[in-house]
Amino acid sequence: MDSLKNMDMMKLMEDCRTQEECRAILEELRWKDGVRCPRCGSEKVSRIRKRFQYDCDSCRYQFSVTSGTIFHDSHLPLPKWFAAVFLMCEAKKGMSALQIKRTLHTGYQTAWYLCHRIRAAMMEDAQKKLGGTVEIEETYVGGKARRWRPRSQKSAVIGIRQRNGDLRMIHAEDTKSETVREIIKANVGGHVEVIMTDESAIYPWALDKIEKKKHQTICHAKEYVAGDVHTNTVESAFSLLKRGIVGTWHKVSAKHLAAYLDEMCFRFNNRKNPYLFRDTLVKLIQTPNLEYKELTAQQAEPAA
Ligand SMILES: [Zn+2]
């Protein structure tokens, strides 16, 4: 849908103003080749105009374009959904539920739930492994910014960035070599040419034999760049993350950290994608509903 290319605020206000306009956009994105019953796949469906619903002639299932998607059962008008998606695609450092609440005039709980559902859809599935020149770094987030906290109370994040390519940020249980090795294995492919890290003791143990031959380190105590050897591109992603956590989200609980990291990476990796808004909407209609109680389920681990 070309009208959704390079979405900006003015276009959003003109083209996604009403429930009907938004619904029509979703219908086109979900059913490019005609409406299908989400339950049995039949194409024989009749439209129930009054309720914006469809009735399957084969299995009698009544559905709408939002049935079975993350929009399902939401009482929030679609234009507000669209505006929230737009804002979350645009905000480099992320949008807090509080900002969404104020901007869209919703209750706080509604805004919070809305942000989490959009974030869930932003998760990248089936990611290809990184190659070429890859930088790996670890950082620690969480805890109150103004007070020094021991690292054990903070959450570890491993950042892996392919130069001129994609970024991954993973919430690591700890920074033991075995843990980091698993993360590297899952994200860095055999086609990697160079692996750059600082002189942290983690990496020599976390890399396998072949990877070790490709390993170059920069001694951060002495210098940050030595020729081509640096981890600056992953560092800059970390600084965006930290500004996001301090400035926008204030406190990210350990439970939701992975989702925030995915959101940041998704936005970062799509920074040149003119169809980011459209693609996010597509992900929303492909993602099954996320229950509020699932999000708020108590976890034993302490908040970071
Ligand atoms: Zn059916």
pLDDT at residue 265, rounded to an integer: 93
Two structure tokens written together for 169? 């940020």
**Ligand 1 centroid, distance to 98 Cα (angstroms):** 40
pLDDT at residue 224, rounded to an integer: 77
pLDDT at residue 2, rounded to an integer: 77
pLDDT at residue 150, rounded to an integer: 61
Beta-carbon contacts of 188 under 8 Å, excluding residues fewer than 6 positions away, are 129, 130, 131, 134, 136, 160, 195, 211
**Ligand 1 centroid, distance to 299 Cα (angstroms):** 39
pTM of the predicted model as reported, rounded to 2 decimal places? 0.85
Cα angle for residues 147, 150, 155 (degrees, 5° grid)? 95
**Residue 208 φ then ψ, to 5°:** -85, 180
pLDDT at residue 161, rounded to an integer: 95
Residues of the chain with pLDDT under 70: 143-152, 298-304
* Spatial contact of 16 and 25, defined as CB atoms under 8 Å apart: yes
d(CA 86, CA 89): 5
DSSP 226: B
**Ligand 1 centroid, distance to 287 Cα (angstroms):** 20
DSSP 6: T
β partners of residue 158:
138, 170
**Ligand 1 centroid, distance to 213 Cα (angstroms):** 57
**Ligand 1 centroid, distance to 4 Cα (angstroms):** 30
